[in-house]
Chain A
Amino acid sequence: MQKKMAYSFPDEVLEHVFSFIQSDKDRNAVSMVCKSWYEIERWCRRKIFIGNCYAVSPRIMIRRFPEIRSVELKGKPHFADFNLVPEGWGGYILPWIVEMAGAYPWLEEIRLKRMVVTDESLELIAKSFKNFKVLVLSFCEGFSTDGLAAIAASCKNLKELDLRESEVDDLSGHWLSHFPETYTSLVSLNISCLGSDEVSFSALERLVGRCPNLRTLQLNRAVPLDKIATILRRAPQLVEFGTGTYAAELRPDVFSNLAGAFSSCKELRSLSGFWDVVPAYLPAIYSVCSRISSLNLSYATIQSHDLIKLVCHCPSLQRLLVLDYIEDSGLEALASSCKDLQELRVFPSDPFGAEPNVSLTEQGLVAVSLGCPKLQSVLYFCHQMTNSALVNIAQNRPNLTRFRLCIIAPRKPDYVTLEPLDVGFGAIVQHCKDLRRLSLSGLLTDRVFEYIGTYAKKLEMLSVAFAGDSDLGLHHVLSGCESLRKLEIRDCSFGDKALLANAAKLETMRSLWMSSCSVSFGACKLLGQKMPRLNVEVIDERGPPDSRPESCPVEKLYIYRSVAGPRFDMPPFVWTMDDEDSALRLS
């Protein structure tokens, strides 16, 4: 115990001051000032974010932070979204819940992304945390409606249940009925990922009707259009609403009922859902469109002219998710109508078609970059691109912070000059000085990585596919990108040299993913030996890597820093490169 200096504040005062510091980065900085601040801070930290569940163990977390109320964890690597991470890889939440059940009886919030959540875990949550309030499961899997029933039945103070994009096993539609009649505290419910029969509509109606604080409600596809009005009339205070299917036979009474219900929702700011849209029903939402700031039409397979009509009604739009049916013409309309637009995501309607099925080109994106001065975040799938378009975009929008471009055919060059797109992406990183996230595509040589290493000083996440010529490319990125935290690479000819030369860099990052590259097993072993604070995991479905020559490239490689040491829940196709001996650790 350090002797208190005369001029230091009592702990309680410091604690009070720290309570105003919410951001993790600031909290971490505070804890490093001195030992006593470390101690005070750790006792009053209430919220923790763990970007890689294997970077730390539950015990370590609990030992340092005894009074946590809110936990956020991420599991699988991002490329798991695209089937690159085989099933059974890991990311299990149960061990965490088990430990937290004992250590954090007052835990209120659990937010998970890409983790495997079982019904057992959900039941344990329901049983262990008396004041449980928030459960967000993004891109998770492994549980069923039984687990949800347990949560509904036991969590009397639940405010938020958000299953965004998770995979849920359909067992029974009646889990919603497990919310007791006395339960009224629901604020946010997102069940849009649930399958056809998984929701009992009458239970939903009753639930909505008795929860006056409900602000977010996102229905699943099974909820028919003619039920929307019923729901909205019970919850006119909604701020975010996701429809179910938005298709039905056109009937004037249904339409006017729907339009009336929408118009009574004065607080509505965000709309989503819109599966199976019948365009004739879209005008029913026009009355709320002027206030709408977020619109997710990424399931709406409607044509450009209908999209244009809708978008032109939404001058306050800040966030738009849409299919490429919007076409260049729609994006031009967007650029003229929606001057507050900050985020645009254009998804492909036919990702595997050999030929483009819609007229969406680089021009659409250029138009938006020109017309929308606040545009910061872009995700754009298209079939063609030019360097000059990218240079234009970069010059128009130096305020871009996230730029993810996916040219659907791998290695496609500038379609006019047939050159690689190095210069175009180079312009992006050069002009957009605050760029934090970048995804590359098209034909790219080592040069683009030289640009990235030179200019992208704030870049935190980089996704690379089918690019580069040699290790020099990877070396540029690892040696130049000072803020890099996550790097994911697939199908590039990067090998051992750059990786080994920049081994120390890997400890400053959260993780590195490399699949279908040229990193040899020997290099992985070496890295595992030399860097004890890295977990070097080889994923190889051809069998044990040491059954092939050391020079043989591994299929997939996932490297992440960790204070918890190697994990022990690996499936048979994952091997950890141990730092002791040169032996493989078979799970």
Chain B
Amino acid sequence: ALTISQTPLLLRPFSLYFFTFISKHQTNSKTTKPKPRYTRLQKKIKERKAMGVGLKLGKGGGDVGGEKAKMGFEETELRLGLPGNIRAGEGEVARKRGFSETVDLKLNLSSKESSGVDPNEKEKNLLPCATDPAKPPAKAQVVGWPPVRSFRKNMFATQKSSSEESEKGGAGNAAFVKVSMDGAPYLRKVDLRMYKTYLELSDALAKMFSSFTIGNCGSQGVKDFMNESKLMDLLNGSDYVPTYEDKDGDWMLVGDVPWE
């Protein structure tokens, strides 16, 4: 059996975990053809190591309609000056990669996603116990529940949406953004209008991508997202940070400007 190295490597991305899990018993001759995806990821790890400490900024979430994320942050001037060549290895533009790494502000995802976890138990972490039916459920967003199609998700919030793009202009008030985590094999779509604060957004992202962060968040506790020095601590200690690309093409750290 393989063991995963638990040494908290700086900015250890998902992809390393991914690699250590390629088992040795893939000896069947049918499977010798290397997956191009793994090769790309391997390259990224090397690049990242070469960059040393650095915030690897990925491309911000572009939404489905080909529009760039218009989150209202366009006017911001605040930027983090970060070391390292932030553009290296972003050949994935064509793939529309979103956030390169996601901060797990909420801690303790390790227990949920290790292999062999009973999915029911995983599920219980998301929802309150059914023995307390009188209380309304916490606002935990279970993926795909309730089963409404994306454009129905936010009809309640009233539609001053004419000025903002929605995923499908013909429906609803959603502000969809594609989010990807570096090394994660797929993208997720997030409707920004479902959240009112950065903490909610980060919660949701953490849950969405929790299967990719492997127990390295340790006991960080909840960090003040807006506090820059704490943020740097976080970056040094934790795995992922959310970033986006503003209309000028600059990489911005999510959380620099007020949510609205």
Report A's interface with B, CB cutoff 8 A. Answer: 79, 81-84, 86-88, 141, 165, 167-171, 191-198, 220-222, 275-276, 298-299, 301, 323, 347-355, 357, 381, 406, 408-413, 415, 418, 439, 443, 463, 465-466, 490-491, 493, 516-518, 541-544, 546-549, 551-553, 555, 571-573, 581, 583-587
Contact of B170 among A221, A352, A411, A517 (CB under 8 A): A221
CB of B133 within 8 A of CB of A351, answer no
Min Cβ gap B174→A in Å is 12
CB of B146 within 8 A of CB of A348, answer yes
Chain A residues lying within 8 Å of B143, measured Cβ to Cβ, are 82-84
CB of A192 within 8 A of CB of B170, answer yes
With contacts A87-B186, A88-B186, A516-B123 taken as known, whether A301 is within 8 angstroms of B158 at the C-beta atoms is yes
Interface residues in B96-125 by Cβ distance below 8 A to A read 113, 115-116, 118-120, 122-123
Report B's interface with A, CB cutoff 8 A. Answer: 2, 17-18, 21-23, 25-26, 28, 30-31, 33, 35, 37, 64-67, 113, 115-116, 118-120, 122-123, 127, 130, 133, 136-139, 141-150, 152-153, 155-156, 158-159, 165-172, 184-189, 194, 211-212
Chain B residues lying within 8 Å of A553, measured Cβ to Cβ, are 118-119
CB of A222 within 8 A of CB of B169, answer yes
| Least CB separation from A465: chain B residue | B145
CB of A583 within 8 A of CB of B123, answer no
Chain A residues lying within 8 Å of B67, measured Cβ to Cβ, are 170
Closest 10 CB pairs of A and B: A195-B169, A82-B144, A350-B156, A547-B21, A86-B186, A196-B169, A583-B28, A411-B130, A548-B115, A354-B136
| Least CB separation from A223: chain B residue | B170
With contacts A87-B187, A169-B66 taken as known, whether A443 is within 8 angstroms of B170 at the C-beta atoms is no
List 18 A–B pairs whose Cβ atoms lie within 8 Å, in order of A's numbering. Answer: A82-B143, A141-B64, A169-B65, A192-B171, A194-B168, A220-B169, A221-B170, A221-B171, A276-B159, A299-B171, A348-B146, A354-B137, A410-B127, A412-B130, A493-B119, A516-B123, A547-B2, A573-B186
Min Cβ gap B58→A in Å is 17
Min Cβ gap B185→A in Å is 5
| Least CB separation from A581: chain B residue | B28
Min Cβ gap B107→A in Å is 20
Chain A residues lying within 8 Å of B26, measured Cβ to Cβ, are 546, 584
| Least CB separation from B144: chain A residue | A82
CB of A586 within 8 A of CB of B185, answer no
Query: What separation, in Å, do the CA atoms of A572 and B103 have in the docked complex?
Result: 25
Contact of A198 among B130, B142, B169, B211 (CB under 8 A): B169
CB of B144 within 8 A of CB of A83, answer yes
Contact of A443 among B31, B64, B130 (CB under 8 A): B130
Min Cβ gap B152→A in Å is 6
CB of B153 within 8 A of CB of A352, answer yes
Query: What separation, in Å, do the CA atoms of A310 and B252 have in the docked complex?
Result: 49
Min Cβ gap A175→B in Å is 15
Q: A167-B64, A170-B169, A275-B171 are known contacts; what are 6 more A-B pairs with Cβ within 8 Å? A: A193-B170, A301-B159, A541-B184, A547-B22, A584-B26, A587-B35
With contacts A193-B171, A220-B170, A352-B153 taken as known, whether A549 is within 8 angstroms of B116 at the C-beta atoms is yes
Chain B residues lying within 8 Å of A88, measured Cβ to Cβ, are 186
CB of A552 within 8 A of CB of B116, answer yes
With contacts A84-B143, A84-B144, A348-B148 taken as known, whether A583 is within 8 angstroms of B169 at the C-beta atoms is no
Chain B residues lying within 8 Å of A194, measured Cβ to Cβ, are 168-170
Min Cβ gap A544→B in Å is 7
Query: What separation, in Å, do the CA atoms of A191 and B170 have in the docked complex?
Result: 9
Query: What separation, in Å, do the CA atoms of A572 and B66 have in the docked complex?
Result: 24
Chain A residues lying within 8 Å of B159, measured Cβ to Cβ, are 275-276, 301
CB of B116 within 8 A of CB of A349, answer no
Query: What separation, in Å, do the CA atoms of A94 and B166 have in the docked complex?
Result: 28
Min Cβ gap B70→A in Å is 13
Query: What separation, in Å, do the CA atoms of A409 and B17 have in the docked complex?
Result: 35
Query: What separation, in Å, do the CA atoms of A350 and B157 have in the docked complex?
Result: 8
With contacts A350-B155, A493-B120, A584-B31 taken as known, whether A413 is within 8 angstroms of B130 at the C-beta atoms is yes
Chain B residues lying within 8 Å of A542, measured Cβ to Cβ, are 113, 115, 211-212
Min Cβ gap B193→A in Å is 10
With contacts A299-B171, A354-B137, A583-B31 taken as known, whether A541 is within 8 angstroms of B23 at the C-beta atoms is no
Chain A residues lying within 8 Å of B194, measured Cβ to Cβ, are 352
Contact of B136 among A87, A276, A409 (CB under 8 A): A409
CB of B144 within 8 A of CB of A490, answer yes
CB of B116 within 8 A of CB of A551, answer yes
Chain A residues lying within 8 Å of B148, measured Cβ to Cβ, are 82, 347-348, 351, 381
| Least CB separation from A83: chain B residue | B144
Contact of B155 among A168, A323, A552, A581 (CB under 8 A): A323
Min Cβ gap B177→A in Å is 13
CB of A586 within 8 A of CB of B31, answer yes
Min Cβ gap A143→B in Å is 12
CB of B168 within 8 A of CB of A167, answer yes
Min Cβ gap A9→B in Å is 50
Chain B residues lying within 8 Å of A412, measured Cβ to Cβ, are 130, 133
CB of B169 within 8 A of CB of A544, answer no
| Least CB separation from B168: chain A residue | A193
Q: Name the residue in B37, B65, B166, B172 with the highest tally of chain A Cβ atoms < 10 Å from its Cβ.
A: B65
Contact of B186 among A323, A465, A541 (CB under 8 A): A541
CB of B115 within 8 A of CB of A552, answer yes
Query: What separation, in Å, do the CA atoms of A258 and B149 have in the docked complex?
Result: 32
Query: What separation, in Å, do the CA atoms of A544 and B194 have in the docked complex?
Result: 32
CB of B127 within 8 A of CB of A411, answer yes
CB of A81 within 8 A of CB of B147, answer yes
Chain A residues lying within 8 Å of B120, measured Cβ to Cβ, are 491, 493, 518
Min Cβ gap B109→A in Å is 13
Chain B residues lying within 8 Å of A573, measured Cβ to Cβ, are 185-186
Contact of B167 among A83, A167, A552, A584 (CB under 8 A): A167
CB of A353 within 8 A of CB of B147, answer no
Contact of A585 among B18, B31, B127, B188 (CB under 8 A): B31
Contact of B30 among A221, A465, A549, A583 (CB under 8 A): A583
Chain A residues lying within 8 Å of B2, measured Cβ to Cβ, are 547
CB of B169 within 8 A of CB of A541, answer no
With contacts A518-B119, A553-B119 taken as known, whether A572 is within 8 angstroms of B130 at the C-beta atoms is no
Min Cβ gap B1→A in Å is 8
Chain A residues lying within 8 Å of B186, measured Cβ to Cβ, are 86-88, 541, 571, 573
Chain A residues lying within 8 Å of B113, measured Cβ to Cβ, are 542
Query: What separation, in Å, do the CA atoms of A548 and B168 have in the docked complex?
Result: 39
